[in-house]
Structure 1
Amino acid sequence: MRKLVYGMNLSLDGYIAAPGDDLGWSAPSDELFQWWSDRVGATGLTLYGRRLWETMSADWPTADQQPGATPAHIEFARRWRDMPKVVFSSTISTVDWNARLVTGDAITEITRLKAEDGGPMDICGAALAASAMKAGLIDEYAIVTHPVLVGGGTPFFTALDSWVNLTLVETRTFPGDVVLTRYETRR
Structure 2
Amino acid sequence: MSRMLYSATMSLDGFIAGPGGDMSWLTPYLGPDPAVDGLIGEIGALLIGNRSLRGDDPHRGDPDKEGKAFGGGWEGPQFVLTHRTPDEPVPGVTFVNDLDEAVKASKEAAGGRYVNIIGADVARQCIGAGVLDEVFVCVAPVMLGDGVRLFDEPGGSTVRLERVALSETPHATALRLRVVR
Q: Distance in 2 between matches of 1:182 and 1:20?
A: 27
Q: Quick one: which amino acid aligns to residue 161 of structure 2?
A: L
In 1, the alpha carbon distance for the partners of 2:117 and 2:144 equals: 23
**Which residue number corresponds to residue 70 of structure 1?**
none
Report the counterpart of residue 31 of structure 2 in structure 1. Answer: 30
Superposed CA RMSD in Å reads 3.0
Higher helix share: 1
- Secondary structure at the residue paired with 2:46? strand
* Residue segments in structure 1 that go unaligned for 5+ positions in a row: 67-72
List gaps (5 residues or longer) in structure 2.
none
Q: 2:42 matched to which residue of 1?
A: 42
Residue 172 of structure 1: CA displacement?
Answer: 0.7
Residue pairs, 1:33-182, within 5 angstroms: 35-55=35-55, 63-64=63-64, 76-77=71-72, 79-80=73-74, 82-93=75-86, 94-103=88-97, 105-111=98-104, 113-114=106-107, 117-159=111-153, 162-176=157-171, 178-182=172-176
Change (3 A) 1:45 1:16: same
Amino acid at match of 2:133: D
Tell me the number of residue pairs that the alignment of Structure 1 and Structure 2 aligns.
173
Q: Is the 8 A contact 1:11 1:150 kept in 2?
A: yes
The answer on whether the counterparts of 1:49 and 1:87 sit within 8 Å (CA) in structure 2 is yes
TM-score (norm 1): 0.77
Residues in 2 aligned to 1:14 and 1:167: alpha-carbon distance in whole angstroms: 18
Shift of 1:15: 0.7
> CA-to-partner distance for each residue in 1:135-171, whole Å, 9 max, x for gaps?
1211111111112221111011122754222110111
Alignment deviations for residues 5-41 of structure 1 (CA, whole Å, 9 cap, x no partner): 0010101111101113222332234313x65455334
What's the TM-score, normalizing by structure 2?
0.79
Contact 2:46 2:106 in 1 (8 A): no
Amino acid at match of 1:44: G
Moved more, 90-99 or 40-49: 90-99
Deviation at 1:55, TM superposition (A): 3.6
Q: In percent, how many aligned pairs have the same letter?
A: 26
Asked whether the 8 Å contact 1:29–1:175 carries over to 2, the reply is no
Note if 1:19 corresponds to 2:19.
Answer: yes
**Structure 1 residue 109: Cα displacement:** 3.0
